[in-house]
Amino acid sequence: MDLNYSTEELAFRDEVRSWLQANLPADLRQKMESYQELSKDDLLRWHKILARKGWVAPDWPEEWGGTSWNVVQKYIFEEECGFAATPPLIPFGLRMCAPVLLQFGTEAQKKRFLPRIYDGTDFWCQGYSEPGSGSDLASLKTRATREDGHYVVTGQKIWTTLAHYADWIFCLVRTDPNTGKRQDGISFLLIDMKTPGITVRPIVLMDGSQEVNEVFFDEVKVPVENLVHQEGKGWTVAKYLLGYERMGTGRIGASKRELQRLKELAAEHRKDGRPIMEDVRFRDRLTRVEVELMALEITNLRFLDQMRRTGKPPGADVSMLKIKGTEIQQSLTELMMQAAGPLAQAFKPMDAMDFDHFTARLAPRYCNMRKASIYAGSNEIQRNIIAKATLGL
């Protein structure tokens, strides 16, 4: 097992780092570092900068605009982006719908959707969770009935991230309610968000922001050609997609950046007249998180070495990255709150904040990060997956 970067990989890292420093707009970096909410224009601006460079979809085949990077280069790129505080590339089109189309889509579907996902013309969201069907996704009830060359969709999705920005949504729907196994009879549809009968209702979060939504479908007509894979076999597509989603939840580069900010904050702020970094209990917690982050990085490198040697993606073990990565992210926000003390408590209006001091957004960020251990399959579900598929329990 080789956990070290080669000379070529180190040169690639330096190239990526230099390019990011030169091309990441200062206002976007400042928004990320001060935890401001990003607009659709902000997200698409960075997307299009990377698309012009040819770096927006490294995982795609070269014929569709992907790079020729190996798995280690892709990992280096993601971690450098996290450490540089780049805006996130919204994954629903690039890293979720696109891989599904490349694996299961028809040629007509690929030619229609992939170029528009690549250049940012179409903004996508994900229609999976429903009221009562989140971790137990196979219990979903949104139905689709086939009529005269269309599916007529009726039902509701919830916690739909950025649906208020989206042009398209990919949805799991039940096309056959009479199967013995709940995972059967589910289909995967691509739905234009401008179709009559779709209503998006915002869910306002604790910090006053709107990130997630309810989406209602009232007899929405979807052309049959928007079915991906076979009717009733959408669960196969869903499992494939979730594997891609979980690979991106560790966010080691971003956590390294947050750890560095935390150390600066702990050295600056005082408790009982001394820097909080000198508090033994605080320093113990911080050290534990730093060690866990180092262990997570080594585990990720082990997966990369396996993929580099075998050419095969990791199996259920990837759930470890999701569990530990999100727990570390939450621990860092908790320690940020502790280090900032009373300065972290204010929920100020966005236009009234002093963004030169990022503590103004620590409390909202702490609240927002509670969801990290739930999305992409809750951490409890991930532990069940590891127990069954890896440990054989």
Q: What single letter denotes the amino acid at residue 271? A: K
What domains does the chain contain, in order, with CATH numbers? 7-89 (no CATH), 124-232 (2.40.110.10), 249-390 (1.20.140.10)
What are the start-end ranges of the H helices in the chain?
A: 7-23, 26-33, 40-53, 71-84, 91, 98-104, 107-118, 234-247, 252-268, 280-310, 319-340, 362-368, 379-385
- pLDDT at residue 197 in the model: 98
Which residue is listed with tokens 């894979």?
Answer: 229
| pTM of the entire predicted model | 0.85
Q: Is 380 left (phi over 0), alpha (psi -120 to 50) or beta?
A: alpha
pLDDT at 350: 45
> Quick check: 77 and 58 in contact, CB under 8 A?
yes
Catalytic residues: 245
Neighbours of 19 (CB within 10 A): 15
Ranges in the chain, pLDDT < 70? 1-3, 243-249, 307-308, 311-315, 345-358, 360, 393
The whole-number pLDDT of residue 124 equals 98
d(CA 335, CA 345): 13
Torsion angle (degrees, nearest 10) of CA 146, 128, 160, 38 = -120
171: tokens are 């949805």
Rounded to an integer, what is the distance from CA 100 to the centroid of its chain? 16
Please write down the HEC assignment for all residues of 128-183.
CCECCECCCHHHCCCEEEEECCEEEEEEEECCCCCCCCCCEEEEEEECCCCCCCCC
Give backbone dihedrals phi and psi of 183, rounded to 5 degrees, phi first.
Answer: -70, -20
- Provide the pLDDT for residue 169: 98
Sole residue written with tokens 């917690």: 285
Q: Do 153 and 180 form a contact (C-beta atoms < 8 A)?
A: no
Per-residue buried b or exposed e for 35-62, using 16+ beta carbons within 10 Å of the residue's own CB: bbebeeebbbbbbebbbeeebbbbbbee
